[in-house]
Amino acid sequence: MLLKIGSADMPRQYAPKLRCRVIDLIEGGRSVSEVAAMVEPTEQTICNWWNCHLVDTGRKTGTPTIENWDLAQKPGDLLAIEPLQ
């Protein structure tokens, strides 16, 4: 079975340039709702992008995107991590 991008089975993928532009618009003072009315991604998607951006730039606590990506790439390695002493 093939999954189409944007189908109910697989999330829609957007160009990184679009995500950067959306973040720039919010940084420039526009609200998430205003930006959502201007571009295709949903308001929820834009909120997710904004929250990730805040974490990645240190303005909100959480695991930065790159660390989440690294962890997702090596799930078996997590089992090999020894506890701190």
10 Å Cβ neighbour count for 43? 14
The domain tally of the chain equals 1
Indicate whether 20 belongs to any domain: yes
Contacts of 60 (CB under 8 A, 6+ apart): 51, 54
Residue 2 has pLDDT above 70, yes or no: no
Q: How far apart are CA 10 and CA 22, in angstroms?
A: 22
Q: How does pLDDT run across 8-56, given as a tens digit for each residue?
A: 555 678 998 999 999 999 999 999 999 999 998 999 999 999 999 999 8
Q: How does pLDDT run across 60-72, given as a tens digit for each residue?
A: 988 777 665 555 5
State the residue range of the domain holding 59.
Answer: 16-67
Contacts of 53 (CB under 8 A, 6+ apart): 23
Indicate whether 52 belongs to any domain: yes
Alpha-carbon separation of residue 55 from 35, 42, 59, 82 (angstroms): 20, 20, 6, 27
Indicate whether 72 belongs to any domain: no
